[in-house]
Structure 1
Amino acid sequence: MDNALLCTGFHRSATSVTTNYLYNAGLRIGSNLMPGGISNPKGHFEDIDLVSLHDSQLKFSGTNWQYHDEVLLKTEPNFLENYVKRRFEADRIWGVKDPRACLFLDEWDKALGENGSYLFVIRHWSSCIESLLHRHSREFAYDLDNKAVSSNLLDFWRDPTLAAKMWLSYNKRILSFTKKNPQKVIIVSQRALFNGAPIIEKINNKFGLTLNNEVKSPFDLTLLRDESNQEIFETLSISLKSQLDAVWLELLALADFSAEDEHPKIYFHPPLESSLFKEYQTALSTVKVTTTSLTEQTTINESEVWLDVLNTIKVDTELVVYLDAATKKDIATDKHLTLLSIIDTKFPTSAVVQLSAAKLLLKLEAYSLALARFKTALSLGVYFPYVDMMIAQCYQALPGHRLEAEFFYNKALKANPKNVSFYIHFARFLSQNSENTRAIAIINQSFEVCGQQPNNIIALCELLEKENRLPEAIDALEKLKNTGDNRGVAFLARLKLQTQYQNGIADYNEITREKIKDKDKLIWLAKVGNQLNIASAENDFISRCVKHWKLLE
Structure 2
Amino acid sequence: MIEHSPKILIIAGMHRSGTSVITQWLHRCNLNIGENLLGADIGNEEGHFEDIDFYRYHEDVLMDNHLSRYGYVKSPVSSLSPYQEEQLKFLTAFKSKMNAQWGWKEPRTCLFLNHYRKLLPNAYYLIVIRDFQSTVNSLIVRDFKYVEAKYLARKLFGRLIWKWFRRDKRKKNLYENLAAYYLNVWITYNNELLKHMELLQNQQFIAVDYKLLNQNDKRTFSVLKDNWEFEIEYVDFGKVFKEKFISKTVDISRFVVDKNLLETACVLEGKLREYV
Could you state the TM-score of these two structures normalised by the residue count of structure 1?
Answer: 0.42
Q: Does 1:32 align with 2:39?
A: no
Cross-structure match for 2:73: 68
Specify the code of the residue in structure 2 equivalent to 1:136.
Answer: D
Distance 1:201 1:70, change over 3 A: closer
User: What letter corresponds to residue 254 of structure 2 in structure 1?
Assistant: E
Unaligned regions of 5+ residues in structure 1, if any?
146-153, 256-553
CA distance in 2, matches of 1:102, 1:24: 24
- Match in the other structure for 2:103: 95
- Give the Å deviation of 1:250: 0.6
Output the aligned Cα RMSD: 2.2
CA 1:206 to 1:71, structure 2 compared with 1: closer, same or farther past 3 Å?
closer
Tell me the residue number matched to 1:202.
Answer: 223
2:38 counterpart letter in structure 1? M
> What is residue 106 of structure 1 aligned with on the other side?
114
- Is 1:220 the equivalent of 2:241? yes
Tell me the secondary structure at the aligned position of residue 16 of structure 2.
coil
Return the offset for 1:160: 3.4
User: CA 1:184–1:71 in 2, change beyond 3 Å: closer, same or farther?
Assistant: closer
Tell me the residue number matched to 1:134: 141
Report whether the alignment pairs 1:164 with 2:183. Answer: yes
Larger Rg: 1
Letter in 2 for 1:250: K
Equivalent residue for 2:270? 249
3-state secondary structure, aligned to 2:50: coil
Deviation at 1:196, TM superposition (A): 4.3
Distance of aligned partners of 1:166 and 1:156 in 2 relative to their CA distance in 1, 3 Å threshold: farther
Structure in which a larger fraction of residues adopt helix: 1
Please list the CA deviations of residues 157-198 of structure 1 after superposition, one character each: whole Å capped at 9, or x if unmatched. Answer: 545311000000000000000011033111001221244432
Identity across matched positions, percent: 24
SS class of match (1:203): helix
What is the DSSP-based 3-state SS (H/G/I as helix, E as strand, rest coil) of the residue aligned with 2:179? coil
1:41 and 2:61 aligned: no
- CA separation of 1:218 and 1:109: change in aligned 2, threshold 3 A: farther
Query: Given the superposition, is the C-alpha separation of residues 127 and 215 from structure 1 closer, same or farther in structure 2, using an over 3 Å criterion?
Result: closer
**Which stretch has the larger CA shift, 213-222 or 246-255?**
213-222
- Following the alignment from structure 1 to structure 2, what is the Cα–Cα distance between the partners of residues 191 and 131? 14
In structure 1, what residue type is equivalent to 2:49? F
State the match for 1:173 in structure 2: 192
Q: Aligned ranges for residues 71-470 of structure 1 at < 5 Å?
A: 73-77=78-82, 78=85, 79-114=87-122, 116-144=123-151, 158-181=177-200, 182-198=202-218, 199-214=220-235, 217-225=238-246, 227-230=248-251, 232-236=252-256, 237-255=258-276
Contact 1:155–1:162 (Cα < 8 Å) also in 2: no
Could you report, residue by residue, the CA deviation over 1:456-480 in whole angstroms, capped at 9, with x for unpaired residues? xxxxxxxxxxxxxxxxxxxxxxxxx
After superposition, the C-alpha distances for 1:191-214 in whole angstroms (9 at most, x for unaligned) are 212444322112223322121124
Aligned residue pairs, count: 245
Q: 2-side partners of 1:26 and 1:68: how far apart?
A: 33
Distance (Å, rounded) in 2 between the aligned partners of 1:203 and 1:157 = 41
CA distance in 1, matches of 2:271, 2:249: 21
Residue identity matched to 1:76: S
1:68–1:162 contact (8 Å) kept in structure 2: no
Unpaired runs of 5+ in structure 2? 154-172
Task: Tell me the equivalent position of 1:57.
Answer: 61
Letter in 2 for 1:26: N
Instruction: Return the match for 1:22 from 5, 9, 26.
Output: 26
Higher relative contact order (CA 8 A, sep 6+): 2
Separation in structure 2 between the aligned mates of residue 221 and residue 23 of structure 1, nearest angstrom: 16
Instruction: Using the TM superposition, give the Cα deviation of residue 36 of structure 1 relative to its aligned residue in structure 2, in angstroms.
Output: 1.2
Task: Give the Cα separation in 2 of the matches to 1:38 and 1:241.
Answer: 29
Shift of 1:57: 1.3
CA contact (8 A) 2:214 2:238 kept: no
Q: Which has the higher strand share?
A: 2
User: 1:47 and 1:207, CA in 2 relative to 1: closer, same or farther beyond 3 A?
Assistant: same
For residue 156 of structure 1, report the CA deviation from its aligned partner.
7.1
Q: 1:157 to 1:128 in 2, by over 3 A?
A: same
Shift of 1:66: 4.0
> Does the 8 Å CA contact 2:67/2:73 hold for their aligned counterparts?
no
1:68 and 1:168 in contact (8 A); partners too: no
Distance 2:21 2:178 in 1: 29
Residues 217/85 of structure 1: CA separation in 2 closer, same or farther (3 Å cut): farther
Q: 1:32 to 1:157 in 2, by over 3 A?
A: farther
Shift of 1:15: 0.4
Question: Which TM-score applies when normalising by structure 2?
Answer: 0.81
Q: CA deviation at 1:42?
A: 2.1
Q: Work out whether residues 75 and 188 of structure 2, in 8 Å CA contact, stay in contact via their aligned partners in 1.
A: no
